[in-house]
Chain A
Amino acid sequence: EAGVVQSPRYKIIEKKQPVAFWCNPISGHNTLYWYLQNLGQGPELLIRYENEEAVDDSQLPKDRFSAERLKGVDSTLKIQPAELGDSAVYLCASSPSRSADTQYFGPGTRLTVL
Chain B
Amino acid sequence: QKEVEQNSGPLSVPEGAIASLNCTYSDRVSQSFFWYRQYSGKSPELIMSIYSNGDKEDGRFTAQLNKASQYVSLLIRDSQPSDSATYLCAVNPANFGNEKLTFGTGTRLTIIP
A interface residues, Cβ below 8 angstroms from B: 40-45, 48, 56, 91, 98-103, 105-108
Contacts and interface: CB of A to CB of B under 8 A. Distances in A.
Contacts of A101: 32, 34, 49, 92, 94
Contacts, number: 51
B12 to A, nearest CB: 17
B43 A100 contact: no
B101 A107 contact: no
B105 A41 contact: yes
Which 10 residue pairs across A and B have the least CB separation, nearest first? A42-B103, A105-B43, A100-B99, A100-B92, A42-B88, A101-B32, A100-B101, A43-B103, A105-B44, A108-B43
6 contacts: A40-B106, A42-B106, A99-B99, A102-B46, A106-B43, A107-B43
Given A106-B43, A107-B43, A40 B103 contact: no
A98 B34 CA distance: 17
A108 B56 CA distance: 30
A40 B92 CA distance: 21
A45 B99 contact: no
Interface in B29-75: 32, 34, 42-46, 49
Interface in B83-111: 88, 90, 92, 94, 98-106
Contacts of B103: 42-44
Contacts of B80: none
B101 A41 contact: no
Contacts of B4: 42
A32 to B, nearest CB: 13
A40 B8 contact: yes
B44 A43 contact: yes
A81 B45 CA distance: 31
A42 B100 contact: no
Contacts of B94: 99-101
A98 B92 CA distance: 12
Contact of A98 (B8, B45, B99, B102): B99
Given A40-B106, A105-B43, 4 more contacts: A42-B90, A42-B105, A43-B101, A45-B100
